[in-house]
Structure 1
């Protein structure tokens, strides 16, 4: 790899894990240096953080069921998950049966759950609640950037990071990743359209050249040009030919395809540290269903996709931490149309190699009538920022949590220690 005119053979390059994505026989060594050798704390440790947003407010009480709470069944006469159908976790909580794909990961100690987690803000507006969680500043509408972008800013840098450091699967940069650190939105790897902040996806060349052309630093400019060349190479490599690991089958759904692409990018060793994706369809006001039905179908797609991603990452999964979140939970009582309305606390999932799984974390507030928030919802006992803060601190190395979550003190001594 000593000279930029030398090539790397197909066999030799397999060691970097990039062949499944690149699929070309010779790659100039300067590209492997510039794109894959950039150093940040997370990159040096090969750590990666995946954040998944369940947009629409998932019903955490039917996702992670407190099946030993008698009032759970009293309040949900037709939508409760029957005790004999729940996938038991610890003798009190159990998974919805549609989440069977995640049960082995819990049993193996890779999956942890934080129940009664959420935002202290009391809004029941989807838009405001999502905005507050993505900005990481509940109740403050003036925040211009996202918590995950600030987490990358709070990380110790050891050099110029890769252009692929922060990636979102979607048409545009999500609120979570907006900010000073350049982020990429990839709508579809097969056509490599890249989204900017606007509603329309910008061509890949424009997006990347604008990211680097403003710089007068020749070194930075050179790195940018090399990265641009790398992306052109990816575009020409037909990423649609990507084959997941043996035996792995992703659901053929938008969410399943997005997680397949996250795995694809991460296994390509392009320097991805933070990845974001989302899945909608959780706003179950009517006909929510119980073990079967609307919610069950979403949970199956959600769980099967995450399990496929975990299996696809193989030994690399040891360096991945995946966190799920939703803007708020749903009412403890079912409504008159067989659904649930906007609530408060929820359940967050944390999956990863370093995760101390096989446990439900957090203080359980109870579901008796006098224990409910405003007489209708599960109370929040764990601020979502404690969960995200621990994930960012221990995965990305984001030591300055005051920068990540301004106005809120996240003390590492208060971590739940699920990692």
Structure 2
């Protein structure tokens, strides 16, 4: 198999599942996103953060007003507010883990809300199944092909949809974005994969030279448009991005992801759904209480979100 055959076959793969007709238009929109920002207008943005491994919600948002919490968690309970390593009081009954102190000001300004007792009704003991059900939003049903975020996008389709409409700051498309609505998976803005739903082949910027050298048929225009889109994001130069309002992002997976999501929001490219994830929440007996593994994870979580909200400033009015 030579390079020309490989690239042609890779391009023809776009025809699978009936996507050939839609793919060139999608890529054409993507390539021209930089000059069509005015078309997309002001967008509301939903940012979803998946805490993979299942965070301990009772030590993240502490029911310090419930005596049973302390009876049942004698070794890992978070102390009451105003005590050493105590919870950050919210309403006299609930409080935040002390590592989430950076989020307190957003609660006080009514920008932060906590939805309690919300989760899956399925009682599986498998973390993998539980995560799958959360991302498909069909508890107990493994056959669901699309994810809940993709169904949201499908239900809000319009004539002028930005190719940056849904972006996941991950190496692979998350289960929640599987489906017909186009979305993008990337780990950074300079090196990313384009996915039209879950079904298409990935297109990597490193193939540009080979493509131009070998492909001379009807796919070449689509390929050129794709690489124009790659170059547009490279020109955004994320390494030179300067957060505003004194925001300082942690140098962590989540911190880097939210920093780049903020950059896309400010760029006005029509972003509507953004996905980020943080790993390591399955802490088992290494969890600790106010200090330890969970505390370290929550510190990064709180600092990353606080930096994101601070960086966006008034633009947070359009972000959930």
What TM-score range do you get, normalising by the shorter chain?
Answer: 0.7 to 0.9
Aligned residue for 2:145?
144
CA gap of 1:319–1:227, structure 2 versus 1, over 3 A, is farther
The 8 Å contact of residues 38 and 161 in structure 1, kept in 2 or not, is answered as: no
Aligned counterparts of 2:194 and 2:233: Cα–Cα separation in 1 = 17
Aligned residue for 1:80?
77
The 8 Å contact of residues 167 and 274 in structure 2, kept in 1 or not, is answered as: yes
Q: 1:66 aligned to 63, 66, 75, which one?
A: 63
**1:85-100 aligned within 5 A:** 85-100=86-101
Aligned residue for 2:259?
260
The 8 Å contact of residues 163 and 182 in structure 1, kept in 2 or not, is answered as: yes
**1:31 offset after TM fit, Å?**
5.3
Aligned counterparts of 1:162 and 1:38: Cα–Cα separation in 2 = 9
Aligned counterparts of 2:248 and 2:44: Cα–Cα separation in 1 = 25
Aligned length: 272
**1:241-252 aligned within 5 A:** 241-252=240-251
**1:267 offset after TM fit, Å?**
1.0
Aligned residue for 1:120?
121
Aligned counterparts of 2:186 and 2:176: Cα–Cα separation in 1 = 15
Aligned residue for 1:277?
276
**1:89 offset after TM fit, Å?**
0.5
Aligned counterparts of 1:265 and 1:227: Cα–Cα separation in 2 = 18
Secondary structure of the equivalent of 1:114?
coil
Aligned residue for 2:135?
134
Aligned counterparts of 1:45 and 1:160: Cα–Cα separation in 2 = 13
The 8 Å contact of residues 48 and 320 in structure 1, kept in 2 or not, is answered as: yes
The 8 Å contact of residues 31 and 226 in structure 1, kept in 2 or not, is answered as: no
Q: Which has the higher strand share?
A: 1
**1:14-413 aligned within 5 A:** 32-34=34-36, 36-39=37-40, 44-83=41-80, 84=83, 85-157=86-158, 159-189=159-189, 191-194=190-193, 196=195, 202-204=203-205, 228-321=227-320
**1:286 offset after TM fit, Å?**
1.0
The 8 Å contact of residues 247 and 307 in structure 2, kept in 1 or not, is answered as: yes
- CA deviation map 1:184-223 (0-9, x unaligned): 001122x32326569x97414879x9xxxxxx9xxxx99x
CA gap of 1:257–1:99, structure 2 versus 1, over 3 A, is same
Structure 1: gaps of 5 or more residues: 1-29, 210-215, 322-419
The 8 Å contact of residues 120 and 134 in structure 2, kept in 1 or not, is answered as: yes
Q: Which has the higher helix share?
A: 2
TM-score, normalised to structure 2, is 0.79
The 8 Å contact of residues 245 and 313 in structure 2, kept in 1 or not, is answered as: no
Structure 2: gaps of 5 or more residues: 1-31, 212-217
Secondary structure of the equivalent of 2:104?
helix
Secondary structure of the equivalent of 1:296?
helix
Cα RMSD (Å)? 2.5
Secondary structure of the equivalent of 1:82?
coil
